[in-house]
Structure 1
Amino acid sequence: MRIRDLPHPDPGVPDVRSGFRLLVWLWRSQLGGQLKALAWGTLHMAAVASFPLAVGVAVEAAAAGSGERLVSAGGLMLVLGLAVTAGDTMLHRAAITNWITAAARMQQLLARRAAGLGAALTRRVAAGEVVAVSTGDIEKIGWCVESVSRFGAALLTAVGVCTALTVYEPVLGGMVSAGMLVLVLAVLPLLPVATRRADAQRAKAGRATELAADTVAGLRVLRGIGGEELFLDRYRTASQEVRRAAVRTARMWSLIDAVQVLLPGLLLLSVVWFGTRMALDGRIAAGELVTVYGAVTFLLFPLRLFQEFAMAYSFSRPSAKRAARVLALRREAGGAAGAGEGTGGGAGEHGVPRGDLYDPVSGLLAPAGRLTAVVCGDPDAAGRLAERLGGHDGVAGGGAPSVLLGGVALDEVPLEAARTAVLVQDKDPVLLSGTLRELLDVPSSGRITPGRALDAAQCGDVLDALARSGAGTDGDPMRSRITERGRSLSGGQRQRLALARSLVADPEVLVLDEPTSAVDSHTEARIAGALRRLRAGRTTVVFSSSPLLLDRADRVVFVQGGEVAAAGTHRELLSGVPEYRAVVTRETEGAGDGAGDRTDDRTDGGSAARGPRRREHLEETA
């Protein structure tokens, strides 16, 4: 495959039983390119190895005073020079192509796996590990796969040269072949030690990177509790461990380099000394000695390629193991078991299912075209349930039946159709870097414009702030740039922009997990009303315990212990279900779980007044 043809039309199904099998599968997947690189590499090195023969012929021709043989030797050198140039050029092209196509194949496979697993991916594998596999590990894997063909060409050429030397001059050829065997046997025991040290170094480096990322992410909190220096000391200690491990690894590779310089040097001295004595005794000609000397010098080149392949494999082995672990994650079809009360609807346009949303595990039902609020006493359980409603938890090993949309199991629907039908916005939405226009440029039905979505999410103050802070935007907030993960914005501003993005997408089913937890009460009330109006006729599920949202929902479902305990309107549940009232009251009084996190967008007055206003609301509706 050529680089211009990337990406691969179909990256294939990888063998993820182990890292080694994954590397073998990658090599077989580009067998044509590997054979091409092997052929060009063999031509290149065979031409280089043949130069001593041409030089030997030229020396003998000069000694014999034969001009015709000297011209023949010059012509042979010219042909070999052209072969070296062509072989080296084409080998480089083929090798780089193999490297890039292997890396591209891995990137496509990892991207598809991440898209297929959705939010379940980070529950099974750390986000840092996914990033490491998608960046540095892919480069190492591509390097190893590419180096196989050059290693094969070097091996074929080295064996050919040793065989030819033995035939050409049996005594010296046998000495060279025995010396090469001794050299290989001397280096092989050192490679596993170098590999283990390299693995230890990478493990320590990974821990240091993770510690650094955690320290930077929590720097504001660390400064608040006076723990900044403590964590910096921990990172210093970890970085010193990485340095010591790197030095130990470098020492082992330096030893391997020294062995590969010392032993070939001793072999070369032995061949020259013994060959000179044979030439002085008249047993070989001077040209034959030059040929043998040149061949021994050439053999140092394949030895370097042997070492490079050993390094490539040692560095790529843990990378391939991590990649195989990520690619081995699977979703499983939960089937339509437990359909229960979720009926009606069916497949809509382009195979996108429509109808009631029903979870057979918890018994939660969200009627089609209605606004359903879900109150759950456990925030973590609420997050898991929200992911289930989006079909995001169907990872192999779960064994739970799939969520149904219009009686159709989401796990049995093509992934693209499932993503089009149900959109889940979690409690910590991510804003990608770019302009605001790019942020809102998402696949959508076209029914809701970005302007309407921003108005519904009450983003007026956010737009004003972006317009004032953006340089070169001419006052247009849509051209303002948003930093990575929206770090320049407050928590409430990020929440509202993420809500606007979800509203622009206009999915058949929108699941919102605490969409207003970081905004003040007045803004929350306006968002609740606008959300109800804008999503009229669409299915919306909001996980929240805010009375301002609950009172505007068509239906409120109270989930306790992972199952639906009661359902009705907010006022009905508030007066008839003590457990429901306890959950809502506990949050509104600001005590307990998560209260300290809801401070981003609230002024002092708004924050302080929120609890009393909610209590007044409860008293009025009770």
Structure 2
Amino acid sequence: MSASAEAPAAPAAASRKRSVVRSLLRLWPYVRPVRGRVFTAAGVAIVAASMGLVMPLVLKWIVDGPVTDGDTAGVWLGGLVLLVVGVTEAALFGLRRWLVARPLTRVEADMRSALYRHVQRLPVSFHDRWPTGQLLSRGTGDLQLLRMFLAFGLTFLIVNSATILIGFGVLLAQDWLLGLILIGPVVPLIFVCWIFEQRFSVVARRAQDQMGDLTTVVEESILGIRIIKGFGRHRSQARAFDALTRRLMDTELHKARLLAAIWLVILSLPELFLGIALVVGVGEVADGALTAGTLVAFMTTAMTLRWPVESIGFLLALCNEAATATDRFFEVMDVEVPAEPGTATAAAEAGATTGDGLRFENVVFRYPDAAPDSTPVLNGVDLHIRPGETLALVGGTGSGKTTLIALVPRLYEVTEGRVTLDGVDIAGLSRDEVRRRVAVAFEEPTLFSASVRENVLMGSPGSGREDLDRALAVSQAEGFVGALPAGSETEVGEQGLSLSGGQRQRLALARAVIGQPAFLVLDDPLSALDVHTEARVEAALREVLATTTALVVAHRPSTVQLADRVALLSGGRIVAVGTHTELLHGNAEYRHLMTGEHTEEHNAYSEVAAR
């Protein structure tokens, strides 16, 4: 958990240039299923806005007709027409909202589901690079912003543009000179809006990325609350949070200043020209060139157009933020999921060697973001675990043990060489097939906010109560599970932190063995257990290991005793294979790892490994 003010940013260029329209058009596949209601809603909104332009024409008739002629009945009739027009306009706007509310909420839900499914399918190397908060902010805040844009911003961008065009047509039809005066600000407004869009897009992206950084810090602080309290780091974490909050606040204030500037221009420039038009119009009425009703209708129409014109700044800002949210969404969606072998699976299985066990053949591995010429983590690993054999993998810290076992369930893909299950290259099998054959239990047990039963059954969803009881018995978890308030139906809470480390590790082990897998990969599965529980688990685990092919990372002699043979990993290579006794007597490095004994021979091994 980081306590620095500089939270890690997503691997994306925050200020890169892009077309707002091109970005927003990428939403079309998600909007297409509801396009009928969206377009209908836009049409209804245009009609509703047009009703507002009918009112000035009714006013013109009232002023030049009944008012001029002293016709009281005509004035009442005109008032009734205005009431009907107003009620119709309000009803149409209500209809528009009803048309888009449900379908666009469904669009947001579909996009969130698509993002979740895609993130689940992406390789572990992707999650190694991306901060959790950045993914959370894309799946929550960004998608909410897109729904608001589609439901409100896009509709009113269309409606207000249409209203402005229709309105200026009405103005020119009423008096072409006054109409031309009001059109005067259009060109400078377009230029100012273009400048605004260029600057606002960069700041909007920065703000959304900073929100992702802030989300990351909050998420890490909550998950690591025990560490923060245990080391008394709440003040430093608060300072880090405050620093990120201030950065985000400064960016939001920058956005506000840009919006204030564009609003100042958009509000003041049309008002100036409206004043000029009013002066000219009054002069024309005084000269008899224009009726009073026409001037009233003209000015009323111009006032009706104030909101569509004034909203340009807000809608431009919303468009830019929506385009940025779209870019951030597709930055994740555009990450390619590694291709599955498909029909190659059958061909691969056809060449299988029955009962060949698990093999690593000249395996080389570099992490995906490592330089091609960098020293590989694993460099030519050759290892064979025979069918039904349990092999312990031993090595110093940083030797690559966890990386090696992560290759078996294809959490990472080998850079060179291959890994085979019973003679079948796992690269030719689908990941689902590999993970059906291989069960894993990691050193750091991860549990989910679900019941004990649900957590264990994740290892074999089709298993029943008998299988669950057997798995809990193997991991020696039935005792503490039975003592929980609701037994195996007890919710363990987020990350399983309501349980002890040893209890979480035993449930993770139960999850690995419940499906009776053909291949079992265990990463130091007993490290958090006390010696007495460890002995009981080992005794029960021996029965499971007798019927499966297992690779077990071991750090303690007691765990090594479970294995038929031991492999020593050093410097990215397997440097020795044998029984525990053979290696203990014949290999200084292994003896040092198991007993802590230092010898000149071990020092020589260390120097060679370092080189």
RMSD of aligned alpha carbons: 3.7
CA-CA distance at 1:390 after TM superposition = 0.9
1:243 aligns to 2:243 (yes or no): no
1:428 aligns to 2:428 (yes or no): no
Partner residue in 1 for 2:158: 152
Q: Is the Cα–Cα contact under 8 Å of residues 399 and 571 in structure 2 kept in the other structure?
A: no
For residues 71 and 507 of structure 1, the distance between their equivalents in structure 2, rounded to whole angstroms, comes to: 86
1:486 to 491, 496, 510: 496
Change (3 A) 1:286 1:220: same
Q: Deviations over 1:574-620 (max 9, x none)?
A: 344443333333499xxxxxxxxxxxxxxxxxxxxxxxxxxxxxxxx
| More displaced stretch, 328-337 vs 510-519 | 328-337
Change (3 A) 1:555 1:130: farther
Q: Deviations over 1:536-594 (max 9, x none)?
A: 53443322233222222244333333333343443344344443333333499xxxxxx
For residues 423 and 99 of structure 2, the distance between their equivalents in structure 1, rounded to whole angstroms, comes to: 52
Q: Deviations over 1:82-108 (max 9, x none)?
A: 652453234223443464344233323
1:55 to 54, 59, 76: 59
> Could you say what secondary structure the match of 1:389 adopts?
coil
Partner residue in 2 for 1:611: none
Partner residue in 1 for 2:461: 444
Q: Is the Cα–Cα contact under 8 Å of residues 151 and 309 in structure 1 kept in the other structure?
A: yes
CA-CA distance at 1:451 after TM superposition = 2.0
Alignment of 1:68-107 (within 5 A): 77=82, 80-81=85-86, 83-97=88-102, 99-107=104-112
Q: Aligned partner of 1:126: which letter? A: P
Change (3 A) 1:327 1:382: farther
Alignment of 1:184-263 (within 5 A): 184-211=190-217, 213-214=219-220, 218=224, 220-221=226-227, 228-263=234-269
Q: Aligned partner of 2:411: which letter? A: H
> Could you say what secondary structure the match of 2:98 adopts?
helix
Q: Is the Cα–Cα contact under 8 Å of residues 133 and 217 in structure 2 kept in the other structure?
A: no
For residues 167 and 519 of structure 1, the distance between their equivalents in structure 2, rounded to whole angstroms, comes to: 87
- Specify every segment of 5 or more residues in structure 2 that has no aligned partner in the other structure, as ranges: 1-16, 364-380, 599-611
Partner residue in 2 for 1:322: 328
Partner residue in 1 for 2:532: 522
> Could you say what secondary structure the match of 1:481 adopts?
coil
For residues 136 and 455 of structure 1, the distance between their equivalents in structure 2, rounded to whole angstroms, comes to: 44
> Could you say what secondary structure the match of 1:239 adopts?
helix
Q: Is the Cα–Cα contact under 8 Å of residues 445 and 506 in structure 1 kept in the other structure?
A: no
> Could you say what secondary structure the match of 2:328 adopts?
helix
Partner residue in 1 for 2:405: 386
Q: Is the Cα–Cα contact under 8 Å of residues 511 and 540 in structure 1 kept in the other structure?
A: yes
2:185 to 166, 179, 182: 179
CA-CA distance at 1:212 after TM superposition = 5.0
Partner residue in 2 for 1:26: 27
Identity across the alignment (%):
26
Q: Is the Cα–Cα contact under 8 Å of residues 340 and 430 in structure 2 kept in the other structure?
A: no
> Could you say what secondary structure the match of 1:174 adopts?
helix
For residues 551 and 207 of structure 2, the distance between their equivalents in structure 1, rounded to whole angstroms, comes to: 48
Q: Is the Cα–Cα contact under 8 Å of residues 334 and 402 in structure 1 kept in the other structure?
A: no
- Specify every segment of 5 or more residues in structure 1 that has no aligned partner in the other structure, as ranges: 1-16, 346-353, 468-475, 589-622
Change (3 A) 1:388 1:179: same
1:270 aligns to 2:287 (yes or no): no
CA-CA distance at 1:415 after TM superposition = 4.3
| More displaced stretch, 482-491 vs 256-265 | 256-265
> Could you say what secondary structure the match of 2:300 adopts?
helix
For residues 127 and 380 of structure 1, the distance between their equivalents in structure 2, rounded to whole angstroms, comes to: 27
Q: Is the Cα–Cα contact under 8 Å of residues 386 and 511 in structure 1 kept in the other structure?
A: yes
Change (3 A) 1:219 1:433: closer
Q: Aligned partner of 1:451: which letter? A: D
1:498 to 508, 519, 526: 508
1:512 to 507, 518, 522: 522
Q: Is the Cα–Cα contact under 8 Å of residues 119 and 387 in structure 1 kept in the other structure?
A: no
For residues 427 and 64 of structure 2, the distance between their equivalents in structure 1, rounded to whole angstroms, comes to: 78
Q: Aligned partner of 2:357: which letter? A: D
CA-CA distance at 1:223 after TM superposition = 5.8
Q: Is the Cα–Cα contact under 8 Å of residues 201 and 324 in structure 2 kept in the other structure?
A: no
For residues 520 and 48 of structure 2, the distance between their equivalents in structure 1, rounded to whole angstroms, comes to: 61
For residues 544 and 285 of structure 1, the distance between their equivalents in structure 2, rounded to whole angstroms, comes to: 97
Q: Is the Cα–Cα contact under 8 Å of residues 41 and 154 in structure 1 kept in the other structure?
A: no
> Could you say what secondary structure the match of 2:26 adopts?
helix
Q: Is the Cα–Cα contact under 8 Å of residues 56 and 291 in structure 1 kept in the other structure?
A: yes
Change (3 A) 1:200 1:444: closer
1:134 to 125, 139, 147: 139
Alignment of 1:336-415 (within 5 A): 343-345=352-354, 356-360=357-361, 361=363, 362-379=381-398, 381-394=400-413, 399-400=415-416, 403-415=419-431
Q: Is the Cα–Cα contact under 8 Å of residues 45 and 93 in structure 2 kept in the other structure?
A: yes
> Could you say what secondary structure the match of 2:527 adopts?
coil
> Could you say what secondary structure the match of 2:27 adopts?
helix
Q: Is the Cα–Cα contact under 8 Å of residues 441 and 522 in structure 2 kept in the other structure?
A: yes
Q: Is the Cα–Cα contact under 8 Å of residues 560 and 566 in structure 2 kept in the other structure?
A: yes
For residues 420 and 54 of structure 1, the distance between their equivalents in structure 2, rounded to whole angstroms, comes to: 74
Change (3 A) 1:401 1:140: farther
CA-CA distance at 1:385 after TM superposition = 1.9
CA-CA distance at 1:356 after TM superposition = 3.3
Alignment of 1:507-586 (within 5 A): 507-534=517-544, 536-586=546-596
Change (3 A) 1:363 1:92: farther
Q: Is the Cα–Cα contact under 8 Å of residues 369 and 537 in structure 1 kept in the other structure?
A: yes
Q: Deviations over 1:303-336 (max 9, x none)?
A: 3543333222333444333333322333445989
For residues 300 and 209 of structure 1, the distance between their equivalents in structure 2, rounded to whole angstroms, comes to: 39
Q: Is the Cα–Cα contact under 8 Å of residues 22 and 324 in structure 1 kept in the other structure?
A: no
For residues 507 and 161 of structure 1, the distance between their equivalents in structure 2, rounded to whole angstroms, comes to: 73
Q: Is the Cα–Cα contact under 8 Å of residues 19 and 321 in structure 1 kept in the other structure?
A: no
> Could you say what secondary structure the match of 1:519 adopts?
coil
For residues 387 and 102 of structure 1, the distance between their equivalents in structure 2, rounded to whole angstroms, comes to: 37
For residues 76 and 429 of structure 2, the distance between their equivalents in structure 1, rounded to whole angstroms, comes to: 75
For residues 280 and 548 of structure 1, the distance between their equivalents in structure 2, rounded to whole angstroms, comes to: 107
1:284 to 273, 286, 290: 290
Q: Is the Cα–Cα contact under 8 Å of residues 334 and 399 in structure 1 kept in the other structure?
A: no
CA-CA distance at 1:343 after TM superposition = 4.3
Give the count of matched residue pairs.
551
Partner residue in 2 for 1:592: none
CA-CA distance at 1:485 after TM superposition = 0.9
CA-CA distance at 1:359 after TM superposition = 3.6
Q: Is the Cα–Cα contact under 8 Å of residues 41 and 96 in structure 2 kept in the other structure?
A: yes
Partner residue in 2 for 1:613: none
CA-CA distance at 1:513 after TM superposition = 1.8
Change (3 A) 1:412 1:240: same
Q: Deviations over 1:340-359 (max 9, x none)?
A: xx9425xxxxxxxx973434
